[in-house]
Each structure stands twice: as C-alpha cells, then as structure tokens.
Structure 1
Amino acid sequence: MSAVLAALVMACRQLGDRAVLAVAAKSIAVTLLIFAGIGAGLYAALAEAAERAGVAQGWAGLAAVVLVPLAAWLLFRVVALAVLQFFADDVVAAVEARHYPALASRARPLPFRRDLVNAVRGLMRAVGYNLLALPVAGLLAFTAIGPALVLLAVNAVLLGRELTDMAWLRHCEGAEGANPVPGLERILLGTAIAGLMLVPLANLAAPLIGAGAGTQLVLRRLEEGRQRA
C-alpha cells in the first residue's frame, strides 16, 4: 500500500515535466478528436434513423446530446489508455531519467509497430473483459452498487497490468510475463486510477499519473534487484 501511494505521489509531482506535459497535450488532443469523431458518427446514425422513421431531425440532435456524453463517460478509460500507449515511452523515459538514471541506459525503447500492437491488445482486453463482466454486473443490479463494484474490480486488474507493462516491456529482455510488480500492488494502482478516471477533469490526467506511478513501481523493483546483485 505504501509503495503504491509513494508511486502515485511521485507521479503527480512529475506532471509538470516538459516531456510529460508534451505527452499530456498529444494524448488529450487525440482522445478528444476520437470522441469528436464518435459523436459525429453517432449523430449521423441517429439522424438517418430518424429520417427513415419519419421523426423530426431535432429528436436526433437531442438524442445525440444525451448519448454522446454517456458514451464518452463509459468509453473514456478504454480510449484514453489505448491512446496513451502510443506515447507511453516518453512518460517512462522521463521517470527513468529523473529517478533511475542507471536503469535508463539499459532500457530498450519500443518501436511504433510494437506500441501499436500493445495498444490494440490492451483495447481488446479492456473491451473483452468488460463485456464478460456485464452479465455478472446485471445479476447484481438489484444491489444498486454491485454493478459498479464488479466493473471497478475488472478495470482495476486491467489497469494495473497495462500501466506497469508500459515500463516493464522496455526492460523485460523477452520475459514479458515476468512483471516484477506484485499482483496486489498492481490491483491497488489500478483501483486508484480507475477511481480517478470517474472524476471530471481529473480523468484527463489520470492515465498519465497511472503511467508514471506504474513506471515507479517497476523501476523500484528493478533497482532493488540491481542493488542486490
């Protein structure tokens, strides 16, 4: 628990770094553009459906006003994390350079193709696991809070993995499945970031904080191993 809290604090302190601010600008811009495209596509689909049904176009606009923010709220975590995967190396490198210079020289930056593969895999995992969780969440609908807890648990596990793998893949030397961060720490990190993503405005910084904190957790373990050796 203390290690995760310390990692989150250090990640927040580094939000003002130029490299991190540059990633923030790029990732937020791309994320907003994606949601603008989703909104435009949704409105076009609703407008066509309204025309075929002989309903006034104004109803399509009203439906879009309601559905687009709802879709953005539901999909933000998935889209924002997928976008961040493309720029994750910059965040990880900034943490390495500032706090772990000895490890920075050993890191292997990921090529664009690998970043793309990681982003697609992460996106598919997020969509797949959330879809699998929906029936369970539906069964707990009568509890009011049950569905939210189920989805939070699923996304905590997914986020914990994605946010630590961003750094681990630069150092793993082929052992991708040997992430050194304990499962409990990954779940705690994922829970904190999943909760932060539910807060308006704070959710824009949440992926960056998570990437920075996940990097801290991975590099701390690697540094401890290097010192023991």
Structure 2
Amino acid sequence: MTRVIIAIGKAVGQLGDRRIVLVLLKSIAATLAIFAALGSALFLALDYVLADWAASYSEEIGAVIAVFATVIGGWLLFRVVALAVIQFFADTIVAAVEQAHYPDRADKARLIPLGEEIRNAAKGAGRAVGANLLALVIAIPLIFTAIGPAVVFWTVNAWLLGRELQDMVWLRHRHPDGPADAQPPVSGPERFLLGGAIAALLVVPFVNLLAPIIGAASATHLVHRRNGPL
C-alpha cells in the first residue's frame, strides 16, 4: 500500500510537466466530445424507446426514467471513454515519467504500433463494458441498500483500472512475441489498490478529468519499482 501511495504522490507532483499538460488538454477535449456525442445518442435512443410506453402510462414517468437511465449510462460511459482516450496518449505520459525518473528504462521502450494500440484500447473498452454490465446486474438488487451498488461498481472498476493502467506501461517493455505466461510486474493487491484509488477519483467532479493521467503516471512508477526503491 505504501508503494501505491508514494507512486500516486509522485504522479501528482509531475502534473506540471509540459508534455503531461498538453496530453491532459487533448484527452479532456477528446473525452468530453465523445462523451457528449454518446450521451446525446443514448438519451435520444431512450426517448424513442420509451415514447410508446410513456404514452400509455405517463409522459412525466417516461421522462424521469429516460433521464435516470441516461445519467446511469453516462456514469458508466465516462469511465469507458476516458480510459479508451487515455490509451492513445499513454505513451507520452509514460515516456515523460520514464525520462524524468527512469532514463535507463526509457531508452529500452518500444514504440507500440497504431494497430496494436487500437486493439489494446478495444480490448480494454470491451472488458470495461462487459464488467460494468455484469456489475449493473449485481447492483440492481442492492439498490435499496444505498451503499451496495457503489461498492460493487468500485470493486469492479478497481480491478479493471488496475489491469489497464499496468498494461499501458508494461506493454511498452514487453515484446508481443514474448512468453504468454510472463508475470506482470505489479502485484495483484497493488494493481487493485491503484485501480481503486483512481476509480474513487473518477467520481469527483473535475478531478475525474485528471484521474486517468494520474493513474498512468502512477502505474509507471509501480512497474519500474524493481529498478530501486520508490
């Protein structure tokens, strides 16, 4: 746990790096644009689907359900979109951290081809959608417990984010033709703690725009911790 806290602290301390600021601005713009488009499409789709139902019962009830479903859908979509976007900018963030703290490792990193980046982003987005849909099924019966759904979604996203953030760094140094059973450099508990911390930041307004970048930078420190103590 101490390593995770130190890694996050170092990541926050490097947010002023010019390269990271530029990535932050690009990722925020891309995330908000995609999120707005997907959110609008979701709202229109729900409005269309619920139109007949609302006519039979009550337009007000239909509107409330549409808004509620859009908010829940948007809450889930934001994590998927933010993570998918940051995947495309991960190299710049990781490289900035490596050059500042682990220059010997930075020179050994490989440039991930665009096709591989797209595949990795698609796999990550697929895992996020699938896991969150499963979490939604589990969370619905717990909705009257108030805290139950939040715990379910936090747990699922902690696992997802820990895995994705580690891979953003690890794949730069792992040859694609290497052994399939190669052990990840970050332990399971550390991945979960890092993912849990970033998942918590993702629910804080405005801070959630910084969360993926803090996560990528923190994961870089954790992956390279074997070069020496943090």
Give TM class, smaller chain: 0.7 to 0.9
> Is the contact made by 2:201 and 2:208 (CA closer than 8 Å) also made in structure 1?
yes
Q: Are residue 220 (structure 1) and residue 228 (structure 2) matched?
A: no
Amino acid in structure 1 at the alignment position of 2:123: R
> Is the contact made by 1:100 and 1:219 (CA closer than 8 Å) also made in structure 2?
yes
Equivalent-residue separation in structure 2 for 1:13 and 1:204 (angstroms): 16
Equivalent-residue separation in structure 1 for 2:193 and 2:47 (angstroms): 43
Instruction: Give secondary structure in 2 for the equivalent of 1:16.
Output: coil
In the other structure, the counterpart of 2:161 is 159
Equivalent-residue separation in structure 1 for 2:14 and 2:22 (angstroms): 12
Specify whether residues 204 and 103 from structure 1 end up closer, same or farther in structure 2 by C-alpha distance, changes over 3 A only. same
Q: Are residue 185 (structure 1) and residue 187 (structure 2) matched?
A: no
In the other structure, the counterpart of 1:92 is 94
Equivalent-residue separation in structure 2 for 1:145 and 1:49 (angstroms): 30
In the other structure, the counterpart of 2:45 is 45
Q: Aligned pair count?
A: 222
Specify whether residues 83 and 175 from structure 1 end up closer, same or farther in structure 2 by C-alpha distance, changes over 3 A only. farther
Give 1:47 deviation, angstroms.
Answer: 6.1
> Is the contact made by 2:35 and 2:77 (CA closer than 8 Å) also made in structure 1?
no
Give 1:18 deviation, angstroms.
Answer: 1.3
> Is the contact made by 1:160 and 1:189 (CA closer than 8 Å) also made in structure 2?
yes
Give 1:77 deviation, angstroms.
Answer: 1.1
Between the two proteins, what is the percent identity of the paired residues?
53
Specify whether residues 16 and 179 from structure 1 end up closer, same or farther in structure 2 by C-alpha distance, changes over 3 A only. same
> Is the contact made by 2:162 and 2:194 (CA closer than 8 Å) also made in structure 1?
yes
Worse-matched range after superposition: 135-144 or 32-41: 135-144
Give 1:136 deviation, angstroms.
Answer: 2.5
> Is the contact made by 2:47 and 2:66 (CA closer than 8 Å) also made in structure 1?
no
Equivalent-residue separation in structure 1 for 2:50 and 2:152 (angstroms): 35
Once the two structures are superposed, what CA deviation does each residue of 1:108-144 show, in whole Å capped at 9, x if it has no partner?
1211111111100000111111222233323433432
Worse-matched range after superposition: 97-106 or 141-150: 141-150
> Is the contact made by 1:7 and 1:217 (CA closer than 8 Å) also made in structure 2?
yes
* TM-score after normalising by structure 1: 0.86
Give 1:37 deviation, angstroms.
Answer: 1.2
In the other structure, the counterpart of 1:3 is 3
In the other structure, the counterpart of 2:200 is 195
Equivalent-residue separation in structure 2 for 1:140 and 1:52 (angstroms): 29
Specify whether residues 51 and 186 from structure 1 end up closer, same or farther in structure 2 by C-alpha distance, changes over 3 A only. closer
Equivalent-residue separation in structure 2 for 1:81 and 1:118 (angstroms): 11
> Is the contact made by 1:43 and 1:61 (CA closer than 8 Å) also made in structure 2?
no
Once the two structures are superposed, what CA deviation does each residue of 1:84-107 show, in whole Å capped at 9, x if it has no partner?
111111111001100000101111
In the other structure, the counterpart of 1:18 is 18
> Is the contact made by 1:31 and 1:80 (CA closer than 8 Å) also made in structure 2?
yes
Specify whether residues 50 and 131 from structure 1 end up closer, same or farther in structure 2 by C-alpha distance, changes over 3 A only. closer
> Is the contact made by 2:185 and 2:223 (CA closer than 8 Å) also made in structure 1?
yes
Q: CA RMSD of the aligned region, Å?
A: 2.6
Amino acid in structure 2 at the alignment position of 1:132: L
In the other structure, the counterpart of 2:211 is 206
Worse-matched range after superposition: 205-214 or 40-49: 40-49
